[in-house]
């Protein structure tokens, strides 16, 4: 069970995930108004309860993934209940009316499968991967957990301690700590500055009643997407799902989330010290959220700047100037906003030099644009990554679920059309628009003795 | 919580290759027809893997897979800590880093641009204490270009002085950063405790000192020592024409002179008359502990039973340590066990991160669960669940072409033979509760315990 601070911190790997399935797109004639869904064929239905079910058959291996997505995450939390989305995620596998503590894990293990869950700022999802002849069990367990979790007070107390342990681990991890620093600085004043893990104070106050209230507010059928991918029969899955979810009802309406997207007009540097040998840093630039027309160009800009050994940052900063030991860049879009991030690990604290070089690179791209060769390379890399991603049923289920819960699965086709149509001019334009060399957050973790720059 | 293919192969190697190979072929005879065991022709069943041994000793494994467009080529070679001395420890990794930095006809940029422009990637690295690999991952569209560059990298690296100097510096920095994560520090300390002063247990700072003194000539010599056909196994998985692949490799690597397999530097475990522990302090919030015991090597008849123990004790959310220490006592977020296939003196370990105040209960809880395996037979139902979980996990770990290629190539390089990939689940099926108890009693004697803590611990 992991908290997912931000896709950007998986650097290029998440970029790859959210930009997958473009193979058909890139091979199709240019100029189409809208590309066919990259997930075709699939079946999407809304059950009587209002829950959306998507089934995609993939028969290359006897495996199936069941992934249930809920449209709530840390951004939906008020300050008093900070951390509840993630805490709730932990509790969902802690027993139901018919399965006691530990029985869910045992039941999945007994068929040779595995389970896990993730909470991010936008969403929470629960997945089980099993040999495909056990997909009915997996769906049954997931449905049971979603609808009938017990929230036993004793279990809540135990899990509270587990989450406090998780918080300690995150604090001890330079990258984990850095991620929170950049988010909280860049998105301060918005729900996207929330810590997915919450605070010790808020965690201490969450109880059974808080969980029930949160559940009623967000775990409603119309806020949930169930995805099944693998060596399965769609009709059988649909029949089973209709039965399992027939009594699932939502009791209150999901509250709307409204806030003002911040503008950022200065360079803000935040620094923390740790017992580390090297400096770790993130540059963060605010950008648009999912389904914005510039998302595709920003993704390609990320690959051109910092995706792969042939990217500009790798070639110029790491290989030629040898200013860093590791560097990467990527764009991460969330539901309401996004962030272009550059990550680096440095030998000593050469931040000043690196910062100057990054500013120059951004200015160069803004003024001179990128080459057609760079754009071809970036598109080719994404095209291949699609193929790699589609090897895994769990990955496919995850991508389908995330698209649907954040809007519509068909948005993937629009995004891919946008990607296909991105030109070098577009990349230059988004660089100029969103990568302001005079307005960003620079978050650093530095060795304890190096904190004076 | 699931185990990963990479984890499985984080340590593997050839030390007992021939012996183990013979033993395992004997085991395999229970499941397969002899014709498939070590043929040089083209048997398609049961694994549909085609095996070729070129006249110069190079082994080629091809597994055609029409399921998708991904093609993965992996060249495995025996190398790494097991073949290095204390004086040149680190040279294999450095060689792997510089390998991609230029050939007689392509500079480092050419290699990167030519592959990435067709969406392909070439990576090289160390997979374990006893093996390393160079991989090409591509779609069919990039196969022709990618394979040309890939073979050029394998056959004609120049190891230019400039690139050697650059990579040395990068590697030194990487080694120095290895302990920036408390888990990394705890694990390094554990290896030092477990292997004593052998080269396998050398700390990253000492390896960094070695690397700083390695010369271009050292790397060239090492390359010719390691990259010999007799020391290499190549696996290819994907939608490929086996004949075309074979021809391409025959005309390149097939023309190399045979060479010899490198010999491992002798490695055996230090004798253990008592438990060992090392507690270090650092600025952290949690306490990190790794407690481990010796474990059977690959090919050892006890290897499958220890694999099952891993699933009983700590491999997933239904295992004993997770249920007892996390679910029931709320002692930790992260508690797990690890056991990797290795053809050198191996180890089985438990890992836990918890609050400093929980340390005594955490350590006692872990020790109690290890001891319980030696004194009580595992209930049949629990054993069956663990075996099913292991087999299911193994199936899922084979989902990608990349993973399939790594399993095949690593088993072959290790001397177990590629057919071990299909035999392993059958070996697991035969493990009994008596096997579990016997193996636990045999190996779980004196432990090695590494602790990284923010506070002084007195015991």
- Chain A from 124 to 183: CB within 8 A of any B CB: 129-131, 157-169, 171-174
The pLDDT assigned to A36 comes to 64
Reported confidence tier of residue B64, pLDDT bands at 50, 70, 90: very high
Task: Give exposure, B166-183, as e/b (b: 16+ Cβ within 10 Å).
Answer: bbbebbbbbbbbbbbbbb
**Contact check, Cβ <8 Å, B283/A347:** no
**Best to test chain A binding among B307, B387, B399, B404 (most A CBs inside 10 Å):** B399
Cβ within 8 Å, pair B355-A157: no
Average pLDDT score over residue span B158-173:
96
Q: What is the pLDDT of residue A270?
A: 97
- Cβ count near A252 (within 10 Å): 10
The span from the CA of A279 to the CA of A290, in Å, is: 31
Q: Is B422 helix (H, G, I), strand (E, B) or coil?
A: helix
**ipTM, interface predicted TM-score of the complex:** 0.85
- What's the rounded mean pLDDT across residues B128-151? 96
Position A7 pLDDT exceeds 70: no
> Mean pLDDT, chain B, as a whole number?
87
More confident residue, A258 or B344: B344
Distance CA B188, CA B176 (A): 12
Whole-angstrom distance, CA of residue B333 vs CA of residue B353:
7
User: What average pLDDT does range B82-86 have in this prediction?
Assistant: 94
Residue B14: its pLDDT value, please? 24
Q: Give the residue from chain B lying closest to A173, CA to CA.
A: B181
Q: Residue with structure tokens 């899955």?
A: A237
pLDDT computed for residue B267 by the predictor: 66
Inform me whether the pLDDT recorded for B130 exceeds 50. yes
Chain B residues near residue A390 by CB distance under 8 angstroms:
68
When pLDDT is cut at 50, 70 and 90, the band that residue A216 belongs to is very high
| Per-residue pLDDT tens over the stretch B252-298 | 999 988 888 888 887 677 777 899 999 999 989 899 999 999 999 99
Residue A18: per-residue pLDDT: 28
- Residue A164: closest C-alpha in chain B: B333
pLDDT value for B29: 25
Question: Is the pLDDT higher at A29 or at A92?
Answer: A92
Tokens representing residue B330 in the block = 């709320």
pLDDT at A452 over 60: no
Please provide the average confidence, as pLDDT, over all residues in chain A.
88
Contact across the interface for A168 and B353, Cβ inside 8 Å: yes
**pLDDT above 70 (res A338):** yes
Using a cut of 0.90, tell me whether the model's pTM lies above it.
Answer: no
Instruction: For residue B326, give the DSSP letter.
Output: I
Do B177 and A383 make contact, defined as CB atoms within 8 angstroms? no
Looking at chain A, which residue has its C-alpha nearest residue B174? A325
Average pLDDT over residues B434-455: 96
Confidence of residue A38 (pLDDT cuts 50, 70, 90): confident
Q: Which residue from A138, A147, A107 is spatially nearest to A230, judged by alpha carbons?
A: A138
pLDDT tens digits for range B181-194: 999 999 999 999 99
Alpha carbon distance B16, B268 (integer Å):
13
Question: B316 falls in which pLDDT band (50, 70, 90)?
Answer: confident
d(CA B211, CA B101): 17
pLDDT score for B340 = 81
Task: Dump pLDDT digits (tens) for A362-380.
Answer: 999 999 999 999 999 999 9
- Nearest CB among A109, A169, A448 relative to B389 is that of A109
Give the list of residues 6+ apart from residue B388 with CB closer than 8 angstroms, or none.
A109, A110, A111, A112
In whole angstroms, what is the distance from residue B144 CA to residue B38 CA? 29
Residue A30 has pLDDT above 80, yes or no: no
Instruction: Identify which of A175, A192, A252, A208 has the alpha carbon closest to the alpha carbon of residue A443.
Output: A175
Q: What is the mean pLDDT of residues B379-394?
A: 95
Distance from CA of B141 to the nearest CA of A (A): 9
How far, CA to CA in Å, does B286 sit from each of A201, A276, B179, B278, B356? 18, 16, 15, 17, 6
* pLDDT exceeds cutoff 70 at A24: no
Query: Which of A108, A114, A312, A370 should be substituted to probe chain B, the one whose Cβ sees the most B Cβ atoms within 10 Å?
Result: A114
Least confidently predicted of A37-46, A159-168, A242-251, B267-276: B267-276
| pLDDT over 90 (residue A251) | no
Task: Answer yes or no: are the C-beta atoms of B119 and B149 closer than 8 Å.
Answer: no
pLDDT at A101: 81
Q: pLDDT of A131-182, one tens digit each? A: 999 999 999 999 999 999 999 998 999 899 889 989 988 889 998 899 999 9
CA count, 13 A, side-chain hemisphere, B331:
26
Could you give the 3-state DSSP secondary structure of residue B81? helix
Query: With 90 as the cut, is the pLDDT of residue B27 above it?
Result: no
In whole angstroms, how far apart are CA A223 and each of A91, A215, A227, B298, B383? 19, 11, 13, 49, 40
B330–A162 CB contact, under 8 Å: yes
How high is the pLDDT of residue B248?
95
pLDDT at residue B167, as a whole number: 96
- DSSP symbol at B127: -
B355: closest CA among B254, B284, B426, B263? B284
| Distance (Å, whole) CA A51 – CA A221 | 4
The pLDDT value recorded for residue A453 is 45
CB atoms under 10 Å from CB of A409, counted, come to 23
Q: What is the mean pLDDT of residues B377-400?
A: 95
- The CA-based dihedral angle spanning residues A201, A202, A203, A207, taken in that order and rounded to the nearest 10 degrees: 120
Domains and CATH numbers, chain B: 43-255 (3.30.830.10), 276-453 (3.30.830.10)
pLDDT of B459 > 80? The answer is no
Q: Fill in the DSSP letter of residue B102.
A: B
Mutate which: A318, A391, A445, A447, vs B, most B CBs within 10 A = A391
Domains and CATH numbers, chain A: 2-244 (3.30.830.10), 267-447 (3.30.830.10)
Instruction: Encode pLDDT of A166-178 as tens digits.
Output: 998 888 999 889 9
Window 62-101 of A: residues touching B by CB (8 A cutoff) are 62-63, 93-94, 101
Percent of chain B with pLDDT over 70: 90
Contact B169 A105 (CB under 8 A): no
CB B418, CB B52: distance < 8 Å: no
């Amino acid at each position: 069970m992991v908290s997912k601070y931000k896709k950007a911190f998986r650097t290029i790997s998440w970029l790859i995930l959210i930009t997958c399935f473009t193979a058909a797109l890139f091979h199709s004639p240019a100029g189409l108004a809208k590309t066919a869904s990259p997930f075709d064929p699939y079946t999407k239905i809304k059950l009587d309860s209002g829950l959306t079910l998507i089934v995609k058959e993939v028969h290359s291996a006897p495996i199936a993934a069941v992934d249930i997505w809920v449209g709530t995450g840390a951004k939906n939390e008020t300050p008093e209940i900070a951390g509840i989305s993630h805490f709730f995620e932990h509790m969902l596998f802690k027993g139901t009316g018919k399965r006691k503590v530990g029985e869910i894990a045992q039941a999945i293990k007994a068929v040779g499968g595995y389970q896990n869950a993730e909470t991010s700022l936008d969403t929470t999802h629960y997945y089980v991967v099993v040999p495909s002849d056990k997909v009915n069990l997996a769906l049954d367990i997931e449905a049971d957990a979603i609808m009938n979790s017990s929230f036993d007070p004793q279990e809540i107390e135990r899990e509270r301690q587990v989450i406090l342990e998780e918080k300690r681990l995150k604090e001890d991890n330079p990258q984990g700590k850095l991620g929170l620093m950049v988010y909280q600085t860049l998105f301060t004043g918005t729900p996207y500055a929330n810590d997915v893990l919450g605070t010790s104070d808020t965690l201490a106050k969450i109880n059974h009643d808080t969980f029930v209230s949160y559940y009623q507010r967000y775990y409603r059928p119309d806020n949930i997407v169930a995805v099944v991918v693998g060596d399965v029969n769609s009709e059988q899955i649909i029949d089973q799902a209709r039965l399992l979810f027939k009594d699932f009802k939502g009791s209150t309406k999901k509250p709307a989330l409204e806030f003002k997207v911040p503008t950022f007009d200065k360079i803000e540097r935040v620094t923390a010290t740790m017992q580390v040998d090297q400096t770790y840093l993130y540059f963060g630039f605010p950008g648009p959220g999912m389904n914005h027309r510039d998302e595709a160009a920003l993704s390609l800009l990320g690959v051109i700047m910092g995706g792969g050994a042939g990217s500009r940052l790798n070639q110029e900063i790491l290989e030629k100037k040898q200013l860093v030991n590791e560097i990467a860049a990527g764009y991460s879009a969330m539901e309401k906003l996004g962030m272009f991030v550059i990550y680096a690990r440095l030998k000593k604290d050469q931040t000043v030099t690196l910062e100057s070089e990054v500013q120059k690179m951004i200015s160069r791209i803004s003024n001179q644009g990128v080459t057609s060769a760079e754009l071809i390379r970036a598109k080719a890399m994404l095209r291949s990554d699609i193929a790699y991603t589609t090897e895994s049923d769990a990955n496919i289920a995850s991508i389908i679920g995330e698209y649907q819960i954040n809007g519509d699965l068909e948005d993937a086709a629009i995004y891919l059309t946008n990607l296909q149509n991105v030109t070098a001019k577009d990349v230059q334009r988004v660089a100029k628009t969103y990568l302001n060399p005079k307005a960003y957050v620079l978050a650093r973790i530095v060795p304890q003795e190096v904190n004076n720059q | 919580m699931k185990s990963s293919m990479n984890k499985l192969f984080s340590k593997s190697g050839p030390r007992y290759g021939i012996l183990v190979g013979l033993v395992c072929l004997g085991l395999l005879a229970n499941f397969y027809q002899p014709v498939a065991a070590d043929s040089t022709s083209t048997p398609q069943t049961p694994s549909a893997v085609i095996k070729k041994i070129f006249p110069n000793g190079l082994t080629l494994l091809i597994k055609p897979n029409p399921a998708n467009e991904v093609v993965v080529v992996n060249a495995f070679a025996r190398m790494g800590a097991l073949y290095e001395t204390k004086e040149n420890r680190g040279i294999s990794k450095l060689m792997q880093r510089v390998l991609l930095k230029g050939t007689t006809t392509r500079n480092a940029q050419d290699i990167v641009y030519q592959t990435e422009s067709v969406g392909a990637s070439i990576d090289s690295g160390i997979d374990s204490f006893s093996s390393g690999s160079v991989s090409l991952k591509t779609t069919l569209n990039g196969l022709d270009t990618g394979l040309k560059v890939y073979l050029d990298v394998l056959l004609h690296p120049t190891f230019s002085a400039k690139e050697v100097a650059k990579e040395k510096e990068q590697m030194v920095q990487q080694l120095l950063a290895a302990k920036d994560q408390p888990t990394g520090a705890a694990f390094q300390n554990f290896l030092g405790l477990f292997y004593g002063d052998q080269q396998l247990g050398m700390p990253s700072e000492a390896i960094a000192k070695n690397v700083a003194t390695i010369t271009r000539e050292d790397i060239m010599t090492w390359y010719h020592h390691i990259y010999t056909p007799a020391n290499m196994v190549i696996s290819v998985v994907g939608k490929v024409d086996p004949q075309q692949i074979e021809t391409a490799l025959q005309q390149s690597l097939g023309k190399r002179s045979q060479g010899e397999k490198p010999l491992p530097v002798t490695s055996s475990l230090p004798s253990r008359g008592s438990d060992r522990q090392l507690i270090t302090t650092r600025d952290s919030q949690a306490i990190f502990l790794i407690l481990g015991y010796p474990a059977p090597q690959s090919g050892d008849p006890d290897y499958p039973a220890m694999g099952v123990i891993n699933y009983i004790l700590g491999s997933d959310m239904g295992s004993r340590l997770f249920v007892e220490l996390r679910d029931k006592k709320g002692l930790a977020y992260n508690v797990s066990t690890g056991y990797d296939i290795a053809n050198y003196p191996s180890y089985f370990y438990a890992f836990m991160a918890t609050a400093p105040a929980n340390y005594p209960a955490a350590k006692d809880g872990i020790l109690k669960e290890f001891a319980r395996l030696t004194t009580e037979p595992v209930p049949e139902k629990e054993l069956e669940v663990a075996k099913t979980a292991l087999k299911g996990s193994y199936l899922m770990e084979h989902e990608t072409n990349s993973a399939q290629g790594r399993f095949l190539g690593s088993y072959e390089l290790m001397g177990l033979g590629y057919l071990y990939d299909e035999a392993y689940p059958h070996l697991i099926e035969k493990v009994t509760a008596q096997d579990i108890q016997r193996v636990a009693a045999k190996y779980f004697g004196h432990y090695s315990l590494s602790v990284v803590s923010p506070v002084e611990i007195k015991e």
